[in-house]
Structure 1
Amino acid sequence: MSDIIRTDTAPRPVGLYPHARRVGQLLFLSGIGPRTPGSNAIPGNVYNAAGRLIDYDIVTQCHSVFANVRAVLEASQCRWDWLVDVTVYLTDMQRDFQAYNAVWAEYFPDINKAPCRTTLGITALPTPIAIELKCVAAFPEAR
């Protein structure tokens, strides 16, 4: 058995999948990006007059993606400090890893309480975003 979680407090998925699925004491979040809930605007993106993406602010996108993860966790009756594993997808590892790492440290200042993390450099994501997170959390009974 599993519970499907959907919420209006996070951006709508870009496909036919839930925001999260709880299986036993584990919560699996689908990939979550920095899009703004409701509008799908992408914080930090800069477009030219023709509407073409010309730049982005990775720090702004990092804060937005963390807010979206938190929204899904809260909709699942789960807490930020119950995260146990995070996979990070960056579209420009060379440019963005250091800034991402600094933002990560703001949200997880104690290495003894931080989730495990894997960071991957990839060529693209399904929307014009620079970062996406895939998270797993464990409810207290399983910790």
Structure 2
Amino acid sequence: MSEGIHASAAPAPVGAYPHARRVGNLLFLSGIGPRDPASNAIPGNDYFADGRVRGYDIQAQTRAVFANVRAVLEASGARWEDLVDVTVYLTDMSRDFAAYNHIWAEFFPDPARAPCRTTLGITALPTPIAIELKCVAALSEDA
């Protein structure tokens, strides 16, 4: 099995796991969220004075998580177009699905060339984020 891959341009994992691991021509990404790689801030979050989240911008978080996935792909020798399967976790499916789905269509305008996708509504993620992606990419043998 290959060594874990660390992407310096992506936010640090929140646990003891790599950003990605390559096995054969498949690249498995750990869950990737929208945290800013430099500051660890969460784009679009608005906080009360006591630190609780007052609200968030799912569009800002979706764009940020896509940028972080791209950073991990590039650090792994892969491209955005190499994605073949994406599992999306949303903490508020009824509120956020339409906006996230609209941005998905911007990044994957041709459904026939887009990766397969599963979207799940969940109650929480380990940090105060509203979206996380779990991805698999297929690489060429010489990548």
Instruction: Give the TM-score of the pair, scaled to structure 1.
Output: 0.96
CA contact (8 A) 1:8 1:38 kept: no
Post-superposition Cα deviations, 1:2-55, rounded to whole Å, max 9, x if no partner, equal: 131002100000000000000000000000000000211000000112221110
Between the aligned partners of 1:140 and 1:77, the Cα distance in structure 2 is 10
1:91 counterpart = 2:94: no
Q: Is the 1:93–1:120 contact (alpha carbons within 8 Å) kept by the matching residues of 2?
A: yes
Aligned to 2:51: 51
Report runs of 4+ in structure 1 exceeding 3 Å deviation: none
Q: Which residue identity is paired with 2:76?
A: S
RMSD of aligned alpha carbons:
1.1
Q: Aligned partners of 2:136, 2:23: CA distance in 1, in Å?
A: 11
**Aligned partners of 1:33 and 1:129 also within 8 Å:** yes
For 2:93 and 2:70, locate their aligned partners in 1 and report how far apart those are by CA, in whole Å: 24
- 1:5 matched to 2:5: yes
| TM-score normalised by L of structure 2 | 0.96
1:61-80 mapped onto 2 (5 Å cutoff): 61-80=61-80
* Equivalent residue number for residue 30 of structure 1: 30
Alpha-carbon distance in 2 for matches of 1:78, 1:122: 29
d(CA) in 2 for partners of 1:131 and 1:75?
22
Partners in 2 of 1:103 and 1:11 — Cα distance? 21
| Distance across 2 between alignment mates of 1:50 and 1:83 | 39
Match of 2:60 in 1: 60
| Equivalent position SS for 1:140 | coil
Paired letter, 1:101: N
For 1:74 and 1:33, locate their aligned partners in 2 and report how far apart those are by CA, in whole Å: 16
Stretch deviating more after TM superposition (88-97 or 2-11): 2-11
Contact 1:3 1:23 survives alignment (8 Å): no
Letter in 2 for 1:125: L
